[in-house]
Chain A
């Protein structure tokens, strides 16, 4: 129940930044229009590129914009606060709390993601659906699978960002690492270009990395490329990465808390 309260608090906290949310929606929508235009040109040159038709490619664009904040595709997503607490030593206070560090931050991240899915996801997607012919599914079951896939994607995204934040226990200044992990996520999640469009071996490798679980899989579920057995495999792929990375996070966390030395007297 503890953690539900943390999640609810985080949800409410992000809900207070209303102007920032509107500004974010505006920016996501503008970028959606720009990227959608380039994809129309790209799919006009090469129809069925990467196995998508044009409507599916456009749906990918707007899904990416809708999930940009939710899945923290550009990194951070509030975990820079944890990084700062580790750097400043405030983490000592957190470790004294009768709550598990990883679960605490996971709950907060889920609350944030839920608000941003509603606040920053729905509106750009709606605008995109009005302005472009999208391939959105008609049956509620696909939507439910998509939401489950988004949840798993957020878990993987959190697990990765949590590891990066914990690295500050050793690095102290984690800015460089955050930057690199943000870039990796931008590139290997499919944000810059769907992984299915990547040429040959690069595409195959990228599809196996954890970042593929953050955006590429949920988008594939929504546009209907994954169905039946492939859909189940996609969700299992996401769940496997989520479990593995969260477990790794636990290991690193226990190593870090054994190591922590709080400065000062």
Chain B
């Protein structure tokens, strides 16, 4: 095998591309199936999407109620907090839509239905990410984008092309970072099947934290989400730069632009953990 490797390299590369393409097409097929099935009960679907929208809107209502009593929270105005809220919510919403269902892995390990996925000729990751694909999650994304749209003309930023482009870049990198968190959390369930809720701390908890200015939190917490689970790159660091607020940790300025690098590293790491988990998986073996 080893002697064949150099000659086979182009083939390996092509094989990998083919595998990714196959995974994506499987993902697309399963997603389409779930979308069709959820649209079969149209009223129920509309209700659930509205509920998803309302659940998140209430979050923002709480923030607005807070601001009915104050002018600034941690030195940030309501539009600035809305900007943080919108960018983080959109990123989490997109990641949740794309592969949030993967957190159901623990249940599948427990009841043994994961074995069915292992037998199918498609990557388990693609199958799990598309499992029970929930189009209703568009509700959260819509709500977050509305809040973001509301905030944009109201924040005091001297808009240049670079700064305008920074906003969609933030959302894309943020989505990738949250996607990595979802994947790593799901992979963790290969070992601890009942611990699905821990993941909520990092996804919903991270989102709840990123909605507020970093100045509100203790330094240790901010350090934790910068260096340990680098969620700060979803919106805090680029937003501080954009809004002209000083960084509470006093990191060098170039760190604000590391979002894409952090996102790439996290996705790679999460991919490795997923593989490790999948390899470690032993069925009940009856």
Listed in ascending order, the chain A residues whose CB lies under 8 Å from chain B are 17-20, 22-24, 26-27, 30-31, 33-35, 37-38, 40-42, 45-46, 49, 173, 175-176, 179-180, 183, 186-187, 192-193, 197-199
A26 contacts B48, C-beta separation under 8 Å = no
CB distance from B186 to the nearest CB of A (A): 14
Q: List, in ascending order, chain B residues with CB within 8 A of A17's CB.
A: 194
CB distance from B222 to the nearest CB of A (A): 10
A176 contacts B47, C-beta separation under 8 Å = yes
- A187-B65 Cα distance, complex, nearest whole Å: 12
B69 contacts A46, C-beta separation under 8 Å = yes
B217 contacts A42, C-beta separation under 8 Å = no
A20 contacts B194, C-beta separation under 8 Å = yes
B205 contacts A31, C-beta separation under 8 Å = yes
A-facing mask of B70-85, CB < 8 A → 1, else 0?
1111100000000000
A183 contacts B65, C-beta separation under 8 Å = no
- Known: A23-B196, A199-B68; 20 extra A-B contacts, CB below 8 A, are A18-B194, A19-B193, A20-B195, A23-B197, A34-B205, A38-B73, A38-B212, A41-B74, A41-B212, A42-B69, A45-B71, A49-B69, A173-B41, A176-B44, A176-B51, A183-B51, A192-B58, A192-B62, A193-B62, A199-B65
A-facing mask of B130-146, CB < 8 A → 1, else 0?
00000000000000000
Q: Flag whether B55 is at the interface (Cβ < 8 A).
A: yes
A31 contacts B70, C-beta separation under 8 Å = no
Main secondary structure of the interface of A (DSSP, over half): helix
B216 contacts A38, C-beta separation under 8 Å = yes
A27 with B201, Cβ < 8 A, contacts A37-B216, A187-B58 known: yes
Q: Flag whether B1 is at the interface (Cβ < 8 A).
A: no
Closest CB pairs A-B (n = 7): A19-B194, A176-B47, A179-B51, A30-B201, A192-B62, A23-B197, A20-B194
Q: Which of B47, B55, B73, B218 contacts A45 (CB 8 A)?
A: B73
B44 contacts A42, C-beta separation under 8 Å = no
Provide 10 A-B residue pairs closer than 8 Å at the C-beta atoms, listed in order of the A residue.
Answer: A19-B195, A20-B197, A37-B217, A41-B216, A45-B69, A49-B69, A175-B47, A176-B48, A193-B65, A197-B65
- A23-B185 Cα distance, complex, nearest whole Å: 12
Listed in ascending order, the chain B residues whose CB lies under 8 Å from chain A are 41, 44, 47-48, 51, 54-55, 58-59, 61-62, 65-66, 68-74, 192-198, 200-201, 205, 208-209, 212, 215-218, 221
B205 contacts A27, C-beta separation under 8 Å = yes
Q: List, in ascending order, chain A residues with CB within 8 A of B205's CB.
A: 27, 30-31, 34
- A104-B194 Cα distance, complex, nearest whole Å: 27
A37 contacts B221, C-beta separation under 8 Å = yes
B201 contacts A31, C-beta separation under 8 Å = yes
- A38-B63 Cα distance, complex, nearest whole Å: 10
A193 with B221, Cβ < 8 A, contacts A20-B195, A176-B48, A176-B51 known: no
- A173-B62 Cα distance, complex, nearest whole Å: 30
Q: List, in ascending order, chain A residues with CB within 8 A of B68's CB.
A: 199
A37 contacts B51, C-beta separation under 8 Å = no
B70 contacts A42, C-beta separation under 8 Å = yes
Q: List, in ascending order, chain B residues with CB within 8 A of A197's CB.
A: 65-66, 69
CB distance from B219 to the nearest CB of A (A): 11
CB distance from B138 to the nearest CB of A (A): 15
A183 with B58, Cβ < 8 A, contacts A26-B201, A27-B197, A37-B221 known: yes
Q: List, in ascending order, chain B residues with CB within 8 A of A26's CB.
A: 197-198, 201
CB distance from A72 to the nearest CB of B (A): 15
CB distance from A91 to the nearest CB of B (A): 21
Q: List, in ascending order, chain B residues with CB within 8 A of A179's CB.
A: 47-48, 51, 55
- A31-B204 Cα distance, complex, nearest whole Å: 9
Which A-chain residue is minimally distant from B65 (CB atoms)? Answer: A193
Which B-chain residue is minimally distant from A44 (CB atoms)? Answer: B74
Q: List, in ascending order, chain A residues with CB within 8 A of B47's CB.
A: 175-176, 179
CB distance from B194 to the nearest CB of A (A): 4
- A59-B70 Cα distance, complex, nearest whole Å: 21
Q: List, in ascending order, chain A residues with CB within 8 A of B59's CB.
A: 192
- A117-B192 Cα distance, complex, nearest whole Å: 23
- A173-B212 Cα distance, complex, nearest whole Å: 37
A24 contacts B197, C-beta separation under 8 Å = yes
CB distance from B116 to the nearest CB of A (A): 22
CB distance from B72 to the nearest CB of A (A): 7
Q: Which of B48, B69, B73, B198 contacts A41 (CB 8 A)?
A: B73
Which B-chain residue is minimally distant from A182 (CB atoms)? Answer: B55
Q: List, in ascending order, chain A residues with CB within 8 A of B198's CB.
A: 23, 26-27
A23 contacts B69, C-beta separation under 8 Å = no
B218 contacts A37, C-beta separation under 8 Å = yes
Central interface residue in A23, A31, A49, A199, by most chain B CB within 10 Å: A23
